[in-house]
Amino acid sequence: MHRPTDGHATLARLSPSIWVGVAPRGDAGLNVTSFPAESTAVHWLTDGHATLPSALAESTDAAAPAPNAPFGRHLISIADLGAAGIAEVLGVAEAFAEVERRAIPKVPTLRGKVIATLFFEESTRTRLSFETAAKRLSADVISLAVATSAVKKGESLRDTVETVEAMGIDALVVRHSSSGAPTQVARWTKRARVVNAGDGWHEHPTQALVDCFTIRQVIAERTGDDPASLGVSCFEGLRILIVGDIAHSRVARSQVLAYSALGAEVTLAAPGSLLPPSLEGWPVAVAGDLDSALGRADVVSLLRLQAERGSGAYVPSLREYTAGWGLTARRLPLLADHAIVTHPGPMVRGVEIASDVADLPVTVATRQVANGVAVRMAVLFLLLGAEGAGGPRD
């Protein structure tokens, strides 16, 4: 994040030549030439103004990559982003976090766009934060209530997607219990962008982005830095311990990809029955037991037992699971003083985390939820751009 000389606005870099800037209302006189020479275009997110450089605003071609995205047309996997792409998303999310702190946290960036959330599996946080994010960007949001839709009459996923897209939808945010469903949806759509909001055991890329954003935010607070100025260097060598039901967790897969891409040292801690059958190609170490691994960890990322995927059958009993792998009050003193405990939610208190521990400041689950909105605003913005929005000085 670079700050202009008068200190009133912030800029994040979208790509080598494109910057996103956030300025307070009425700060139209900022001198963009004070930014690095290569910053040829600035997308301003002021209270009333938003624009994209016309070269980027032209294309609505389905085959074209998203106008601003560091990834392709869709966001299916963290692998679509790589380290540079993750850094870009975090930078843009930082700019949107500033928007969120305003009295009226809304920008017209996606005015005229329609975003549909298609959730074929339960969700509280992810669906509501995507919908909040879309509304804060002034997009129209529709939400398919699967339980009362034609899906219940036997309509296929493909027909459902084609039906929704025929209504002129610009983006589909898809959650499905089948791994790979959003990949299929992306093949079927002609122009709509697709975001994977969690598919089976496969991935949950926006959750991993939220976790990266939150970890960096906490580190920045402690060092007194502006989070964006840290870039992603704060992940280099960071020791991250992922604990729990790795085998059935899409969050774990996205986290491993994200954390390792950013240079963190990732260790998994789980009973053997909850580790994937093969870890070949996973850039991770495996801890033999939780107690000895906890003290080394800068970040402890807890996961829920994915009961809906049959995890219960892989542990002798919940009590034994908690005794071996839960973050109990007894284990609290084993944590490093600076440790950060994350949890994607929903937390099952008393199983993977003791209720008292969940409520301590060391656990940043609520902050993760709050950050989910800015991060998802960044993803939607990067996928959909701001074609048709007004100019910076409108």
**What does each C-alpha distance from 350 to 215, 238, 263, 326 come to in angstroms?**
24, 28, 33, 8
First-residue to last-residue Cα distance in the chain: 25
Neighbours of 159 (CB within 10 A): 13
What is the residue-wise DSSP string for 215-251?
HHHHHHHHHT--HHHHTTGGGTT-EEEEES--TT-HH
Of 21 and 198, nearer to ligand MLT (C-beta) is 198
Residue pair 294/335 in contact by the 8 Å Cβ criterion: yes
In the complex, least distance from residue 380 CB atom to ligand MLT, rounded to whole angstroms: 18
CA angle 151, 154, 155 (to 5 degrees): 60
Determine, following the binding rule CB under 6 A, whether residue 207 of this chain makes contact with ligand MLT: yes
Q: Which is nearer to ligand MLT, 262 or 302 (CB)?
A: 302
Cis preceding-peptide flag for 105 (omega within 30 of 0) = no
User: In whole angstroms, what is the distance from residue 109 CA to residue 107 CA?
Assistant: 6
248 binds ligand MLT (CB under 6 A): no
Question: Which residue number, 43 or 204, has a Cβ lying nearer to ligand MLT?
Answer: 204
Distance (Å, rounded) from C-alpha 10 to C-alpha 24? 10
What are the DSSP E strand ranges found in the chain? Answer: 10-15, 18-22, 41-44, 114-119, 140-144, 171-176, 193-199, 239-243, 265-269, 284-286, 299-302, 340-342
Q: Tell me the C-alpha distance between 117 and 101, whole Å.
A: 25
Nearer to ligand MLT, 68 or 196 (CB): 196
204 binds ligand MLT (CB under 6 A): yes
Q: Which of residues 88-117 bind ligand MLT (CB under 6 A)?
A: none
Tell me how far apart the 2 most distant CA atoms of the chain are, in Å.
65
Cβ 131 to ligand MLT, closest distance in Å? Answer: 15
Name which position in 193, 250, 253, 376 contacts ligand MLT (CB under 6 A). Answer: 250
Task: For ligand MLT, give the closer residue by CB, 165 or 211.
Answer: 211
Q: Give yes or no for residue 254 binding ligand MLT (CB under 6 A).
A: no
Identity of the residue, 13 or 304, whose beta carbon is nearer to ligand MLT in the bound complex: 304
Size of the site for ligand MLT (CB under 6 A): 7
Closest CB to ligand MLT among 21 and 344? 344
Shortest Cβ 250–ligand MLT spacing (Å)? 5
- Residues in CB range of 300: below 8 A, 6 or more apart: 241, 243, 294, 327, 335, 339, 340, 341, 342
Of 133, 304, 339, 389, the residue at the interface with ligand MLT (CB under 6 A) is: 304
Q: Which residue among 99, 219, 251, 258 contacts ligand MLT (CB under 6 A)?
A: 251
To ligand MLT, the closest distance from the beta carbon of 314 in angstroms equals 15
Q: Which of 222, 213, 108, 118 is nearest to 162 (CA)?
A: 118
Give min distance, CB of 143 to ligand MLT, in A: 17
Question: Could you say which residues in the range 324-353 bind ligand MLT, by CB under 6 A?
Answer: 344
Q: Is 198 in the site for ligand MLT (CB under 6 A)?
A: yes
Name which of 39 and 196 has its Cβ closer to ligand MLT: 196
**Shortest distance in whole angstroms from residue 204 CB to ligand MLT:** 5
Residues 6+ apart with CB under 8 A from 347: 302, 304, 353, 358, 365
Q: How far is the CB of 304 from ligand MLT (least distance, A)?
A: 4
Which is closer to ligand MLT, CB of 344 or CB of 392? 344
| Separation of alpha carbons 162 and 217, rounded Å | 40
CB of 207 to ligand MLT, least distance (A): 5
Kindly tell me which of 195 and 384 has the beta carbon lying closer to ligand MLT. Answer: 195
Nearest-CB residue for ligand MLT: 304
322 part of the interface to ligand MLT, by CB under 6 A: no
Give the interface with ligand MLT as residue ranges (CB under 6 A).
198, 204, 207, 250-251, 304, 344
